[in-house]
């Protein structure tokens, strides 16, 4: 950690640079994604398309809805592809306040965060989407027919995938917090019951208001929390008491 504290203006300047870099990365991702927005939407809508009846299709009821849907899709896709840059900039902004031995975790942090974020979105797309959509389509009947809207489907799927990407970051952040000694395995174990309640609250907030989606998010979250406990136990920073025990044993 630096001996001299940086003034507030320097912190604001660093924050401005990070925001500019993130904006440029997202902008490049947006432009590239918009060029392939029709293919991206086809890929994003395939889990639902595979379950819809043959005569069903997506609709839009507003003249500009199709255009703005593709813009939003390109923006979401741009943020997704720019996520490694965004994560690196977050670390770059935090790094000056860390010790030199803590700064070496920058590259592992970016790589692990990106991988877990992608794993979360892939889990939501390949595992949760088919189960959730099959449940929702079950309400189709001769008198009730599903006609999914472009706008509503994009909003639902993007929020859903983004939520799964974020919650899958839990083991990564627990790992680095435990390495820094901010959180310990004992604290995680003692707060397990509270965390389970919090998991269902988070799942209710991040997912659409239906029980199936909430359970499909809550179960992976609980599993990830248990994985985080194991990670904190193996890689966490050892307390001074634990370190002193071997020394005392040697002196005896």
How far apart CA 184 and CA 177 sit, in angstroms, is 8
What secondary structure letter does DSSP report for 99? Answer: -
Let me know whether 48 and 133 are in one domain: yes
Residue 78 located in a structural domain: yes
How far apart CA 152 and CA 173 sit, in angstroms, is 32
Residue 7 located in a structural domain: yes
For the segment 45-65, the average pLDDT, to the nearest whole number, is 85
User: For the chain, what is the domain count?
Assistant: 2
How far apart CA 47 and CA 34 sit, in angstroms, is 21
pLDDT, residue 6, reads 55
Let me know whether 11 and 125 are in one domain: yes
Q: Tokens 């947006």 — which residue?
A: 30
Q: Is the pLDDT of residue 198 over 60?
A: yes
Let me know whether 159 and 190 are in one domain: no
Let me know whether 98 and 33 are in one domain: yes
* Surface-to-core class of residue 196, CB atoms within 10 Å of its CB (0-12 exposed, 13-18 middle, 19+ buried): middle
Let me know whether 119 and 198 are in one domain: no
How far apart CA 39 and CA 151 sit, in angstroms, is 16
* DSSP string for 48-78: HHTTS-TT---B--STTHHHHHHHHHHHHHH
For the segment 34-38, the average pLDDT, to the nearest whole number, is 92
Percentage of the chain surpassing pLDDT 70? 86
Closest CA to 158 of 217, 32, 74: 74
Let me know whether 154 and 196 are in one domain: no
Residue 242 located in a structural domain: no
pLDDT tens-digit series, residues 68-93 = 999 999 999 998 889 889 888 887 77
Q: For 50, what's the count of Cα atoms within 13 Å in the CB-facing half-sphere?
A: 14
Let me know whether 7 and 124 are in one domain: yes
pLDDT, residue 30, reads 96
CB neighbour list of residue 162: distance below 8 Å, 6 or more residues apart: 76, 121
- Three-class DSSP labels, 225-238: HHHHHHHHHHHCCC
Let me know whether 125 and 45 are in one domain: yes
Q: What is the pTM of this model?
A: 0.74
Residue 243 located in a structural domain: no
* DSSP string for 125-161: IIIIHHHHHHHHHTT--SS-----BHHHHHHHHHHHH
For the segment 58-67, the average pLDDT, to the nearest whole number, is 87
C-alpha torsion angle, residues 174, 176, 180, 184 (rounded to 10): 20
Most confident of the ranges 22-26, 81-85, 110-114, 244-248:
22-26
Q: Hey, is 207 helix, strand or coil?
A: coil
Supply φ then ψ for residue 149, to 5 degrees.
Answer: -90, 145
Residue 231 located in a structural domain: yes
Residue 247 located in a structural domain: no
pLDDT, residue 101, reads 67
Percentage of the chain surpassing pLDDT 90? 17
pLDDT tens-digit series, residues 199-232 = 888 888 777 666 777 888 888 889 988 988 888 8
Residue 252 located in a structural domain: no
Which tokens hold the place of 197? 């309640």
How far apart CA 72 and CA 80 sit, in angstroms, is 12
Contact 73, 33 (CB under 8 A): yes
Let me know whether 215 and 193 are in one domain: yes
Domain residues for the domain of 190 are 170-237
Q: Is the pLDDT of residue 163 over 60?
A: yes
User: How high is the mean pLDDT of the chain?
Assistant: 82
């Amino acid at each position: 950690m630096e001996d001299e504290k940086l003034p507030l203006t320097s912190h604001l300047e660093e924050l401005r640079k990070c925001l500019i870099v993130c904006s440029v990365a997202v902008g490049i991702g947006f432009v590239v994604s918009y060029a392939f927005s029709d293919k991206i939407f086809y890929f994003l809508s395939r889990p639902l398309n595979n379950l819809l009846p043959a005569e069903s299709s997506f609709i839009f009821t507003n003249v500009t809805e199709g255009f703005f849907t593709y813009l939003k899709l390109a923006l979401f896709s741009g943020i997704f592809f720019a996520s490694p840059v965004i994560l690196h900039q977050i670390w770059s902004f935090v790094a000056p306040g860390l010790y030199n031995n803590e700064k070496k975790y920058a590259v592992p942090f970016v790589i692990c965060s990106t991988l877990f974020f992608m794993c979360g979105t892939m889990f939501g797309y390949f595992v949760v989407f088919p189960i959730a959509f099959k449940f929702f389509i079950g309400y189709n009947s001769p008198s009730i027919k599903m006609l999914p809207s472009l706008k509503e489907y994009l909003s639902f799927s993007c929020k859903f995938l983004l939520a799964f990407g974020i919650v899958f970051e839990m083991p990564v952040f627990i790992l680095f917090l435990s390495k820094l000694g901010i959180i310990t395995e004992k604290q995680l174990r003692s707060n397990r019951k509270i965390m389970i309640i919090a998991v269902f609250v988070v799942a209710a907030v991040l997912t659409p208001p239906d029980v199936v989606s909430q359970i499909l998010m809550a179960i992976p979250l609980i599993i990830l929390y248990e994985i985080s406990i194991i990670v904190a136990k193996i890689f966490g920073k050892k307390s001074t008491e634990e370190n002193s025990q071997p020394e005392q044993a040697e002196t005896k």
